[in-house]
Amino acid sequence: MLLLFSHKLTDSQREDAKENWGVDEFVVLPKQLQELWSNIDPNLSSICNILQPVRDFMEEEANIGDIVLVQGDFGACCILANFAKERNLTAVYATTNRTVKEYTENNKNIKKSIFEHKRFRRYE
């Protein structure tokens, strides 16, 4: 599984990828590409050109049928999920169940969101 993802996979995500998608190896982006992927400038009017190094990495590292976890900036995800599918790669994203806990502390209302991995879903 090629990880176009800003976080570290949880144990449950690794387990899901192995058990349900047949993943036996996880490939992370090199440091400079991870920096690019995790910090896409929201002020840019277009991001197609800045994603070229990530596309190049995908071309070099992925083989037909490989799984690519694409999660991050919405526009970048659309671009690279489509790019993956055009190359016969399986583009997926993680789904979660969110539980919100609310409580009061020092006269302040606090909301805490807890995200629990449920499954990877294929980009259609």
Instruction: State the pLDDT at residue 16.
Output: 98
Whether the CB-CB separation of 5 and 93 falls below 8 Å is answered with: no
Q: Residue ranges per domain, the chain? A: 2-122
Instruction: State the pLDDT at residue 113.
Output: 87
Residue 50, both tokens:
């800045």
Instruction: State the pLDDT at residue 71.
Output: 96
Amino acid at 54: V
Instruction: State the pLDDT at residue 77.
Output: 97
Instruction: State the pLDDT at residue 115.
Output: 87
Instruction: State the pLDDT at residue 25.
Output: 97
What's the average pLDDT block by block, 10 residues per block, for the chain (124 residues)?
94 97 97 97 96 98 97 96 98 94 91 92 96
- Alpha-carbon gap, residue 3 to 5, rounded angstroms: 5
